[in-house]
Chains A and B, each alone.
Chain A
Amino acid sequence: MRVLLQSTASGILIGGVYALVGIGLTIIYGVMRVINFAHGELLMIGMYLTWIIFTSFGVDPFLSIAITIPAMFLFGAFLQRVLINRVLNALPQNQILLTIGLGLVLSNVVMLIYTSDYKIITTRYSSSTINLAGLPISTPLAISLLITTVITAILYFFLLKTDTGQAIRATAQDRDAAQLMGINVKRMSVLAFGIGTALAGTAGALVSPTYYIFPQVGGAFTLKAFVIVVLGGMGSVIGATLGGIIIGVTESLAAVYVSSGMKEVFVYVLFLLVLLFKPAGLLGRSRM
């Protein structure tokens, strides 16, 4: 029972970060209908950014998100303007291939600069735990869940209450109608890709104290992000939050009760089952 509780708790902790990755992907898909296969690589860039800030200025990884978020937002906006914008009306396959190519470029450029050696960020709390109702919980993961919650709350507020947020949601619901209503859909696309990239980068910063940092780390996150988004329903932010938690818990339980090498198999099987029996996802009908 104790093991079950503990693995569920750690699943929820990591699930929070997954949710952040998934929300970024789902916003991009919702607004532009482009599936971003370079999403994990954007997360990897966030990890390296955090590592660079940590090693050269000694800034704590959790504090450095103040730099990571705007930097990644600008990077994402740049990518959208230069690359993604050109294929908005192309075949979906070509969009997918473009982002796959982008991912290859990002991971290989990073490999060229920093080699494929594993990097780690060691803080004084890296391996410490806090006690929550008798369950030991990893401190960095607990902090990252806290930050994730705050960011998600701000994002919800932004999307639901502000004019720009509503314009983004309107674009996601119906691009043409939104344009007829006088919304600058091109700007919304840039904004959405920037926000998505910033979220991926933030997730990278948040996991950097607990993960190995290497150029190929993104691939696994890309696939997981899709699983999360499809599970929750493409384009649904609440769905992505829920999907992230479900995937985190599934992984954590599979690692404890089966084997840690096979935990991803369970995630992918779950993904296939959802695709086959509920292709719209758990919350597929509501858009954002």
Chain B
Amino acid sequence: MRGARQVKTFGRIHLTASGFAALPLLIVAAVVAALFVFPWLVASPYLLHLMILLFLSVAMGESWNVIGGYCGQYSVGHAAYFGVGAYAALMLLQYKHIAPWWGVWVAIAAALIISLLIGTICFRLRGPYFVLASIAVAEIIRLVVLNWKQLTNGAEGILLVDIPPLMLGGRLVTDWLSKTPFYYLGLILALATLLVNYLVQHSKLGYYLQAIREDQDAAHSLGINLSFYKNVALAISALLTALSGVFYGLYIGFIDPASVLGVDLSVQMVLICIIGGIGTNFGPVVGALVLVPLSEALRANLLSKFLFSIGVVQETSRVGGFLKENLAHAHVLIYGILVVVVILFMPDGVLGFGKKLIARRARPLSATPTPLVGGLDGST
């Protein structure tokens, strides 16, 4: 009975064309509205900083998700696009005094060109070979940037002095002095990447990509042009990643090859998706929600403070001093432990794991399968 009623009520407010249920839409709208008023209510710069990091992680994860999640091509070289985007925008700003809202187009163009180059080389390869090739290409770019000192300032990196104020129709929009403009920029970036993911997933392109992910040879025999669609997915992913890179460069104000082109950055993008749930719209959001607070807690030494407060170790003891000194540097450790745990115990990510738990609990209540599997109707 319960199942039947559900169908009825949801059937009325169901937006049939897009396969989008109204309740989740309302929740998303409420969360977005809350995020937009957040800076008015909260003045703490540290909280804003945390939120900006969260948005950046979401944007990076969602960008990678297009190629890695939907298309199944595990690129571990996405730092290339991130770094190229950041370098293009910051070099133009710093050396040529070109404002970032113009420089960003150059960054996008550069990332697209590189993605085409990488795509034509790497997409001839499959599985582990593709992973290795993507790392190798990113490493080549990192080493070239590191050694081309006249152009990129090498290992010293680029320190951003200031960003010109943004004027629109003679009115000052922002002078970039507080964290608020970055907050909104980050929020818009995160929402845009989410939207792109949604659009990709529910378009013909997305179905092609998922077909490629599930079985390349079958997809090929059905007439899907493998290298074309893989390249399209990579181009979308590279574009979004480059935007994240530009945002990172402008916000942090300092870039060097180690921070924006390193392999660990590429790994981080993959981890955000893996931990949250790969190939799903909200997986990277969940991943970022897990990773950012955890690594920030370690960085700010909250964990060692917690250990001291519950009395496991004394702050004044040798072990305590050691933990206080070093635990802050090991925030990457949490990434490693998390990914091992996730792969071993919840291969569908936190999101998939949660869904499974809910499904297990819901099954005894409604014997009839709920027809509300979002997005599947109308696709056949």
Using a CB–CB cutoff of 8 Å, the interface residues on chain A facing chain B are 35, 83, 86-87, 90-94, 96-98, 100-106, 108-109, 111-112, 115-116, 219, 223, 226-227, 230, 259, 261-262, 264-265, 268-269, 271-272, 275-276, 279
Contacts and interface: CB of A to CB of B under 8 A. Distances in A.
B140 A112 contact: no
Contacts of B64: none
A101 B340 CA distance: 6
User: Which among B146, B263, B274, B340 has the highest number of chain A CB atoms within 10 Å?
Assistant: B340
Interface residues of B, number: 41
A269 B335 contact: no
Contacts of B146: 261
Contacts of B327: 112
B332 A262 contact: no
Interface in B284-335: 326-327, 329-330, 332-333, 335
Nearest to A102: B340
Contacts of A264: 139, 143
B333 A112 contact: yes
Interface of B: 72, 74, 76, 121, 124-125, 127-129, 131-133, 135-137, 139-140, 143-144, 146-147, 263, 267, 270-271, 274, 326-327, 329-330, 332-333, 335-340, 343-344, 347
B127 A105 contact: no
Nearest to A111: B330
Given A90-B347, A97-B274, A98-B344, A108 B333 contact: yes
B135 A97 contact: no
A6 B164 CA distance: 54
A209 to B, nearest CB: 26
Q: Which of B143, B271, B274, B336 has the most CB of A within 10 A?
A: B336
Nearest to B68: A93
B7 to A, nearest CB: 35
Most A CB within 10 A of own CB, among B131, B132, B270, B333:
B132
A279 B125 contact: yes
Nearest to A104: B336
Closest 4 CB pairs of A and B: A104-B336, A101-B339, A108-B333, A105-B336
Nearest to B138: A268
A104 to B, nearest CB: 3
A37 B327 CA distance: 25
B347 A96 contact: no
21 contacts: A87-B344, A90-B347, A91-B347, A92-B128, A93-B74, A96-B131, A97-B343, A98-B340, A100-B339, A101-B336, A108-B333, A111-B326, A112-B330, A116-B329, A230-B129, A264-B143, A265-B144, A268-B140, A269-B140, A271-B133, A275-B132
A223 B147 contact: no
A271 B77 CA distance: 15
Nearest to B127: A92
B323 to A, nearest CB: 9
B306 to A, nearest CB: 17
A219 B142 CA distance: 14
A216 B339 CA distance: 19
Contacts of A272: 121, 133, 136-137
B129 A279 contact: yes
A97 B339 contact: yes
Nearest to B347: A94
Given A90-B347, A261-B143, A101 B128 contact: no
A30 B338 CA distance: 28
A102 B347 CA distance: 16
B300 to A, nearest CB: 17
A101 B332 CA distance: 10
Contact of B128 (A87, A96, A108, A269): A96
Contacts of B338: 101
A35 B128 contact: yes
Contacts of B329: 111-112, 115-116
Nearest to B132: A226
Contact of A268 (B131, B136, B337): B136
Contacts of A230: 129, 132
A101 B74 contact: no
Contacts of A269: 140
A163 B332 CA distance: 43
A87 B327 CA distance: 30
Nearest to A216: B264
A34 to B, nearest CB: 10
A96 B74 contact: yes
Given A219-B263, A223-B135, A272-B136, 9 more contacts: A83-B344, A91-B347, A93-B131, A101-B339, A104-B332, A261-B146, A262-B144, A272-B121, A272-B137
A92 B128 CA distance: 7
Among B76, B329, B330, the most chain A Cβ lie within 10 Å of the Cβ of: B330
A152 to B, nearest CB: 24
A284 to B, nearest CB: 12
Contacts of A111: 326, 329-330
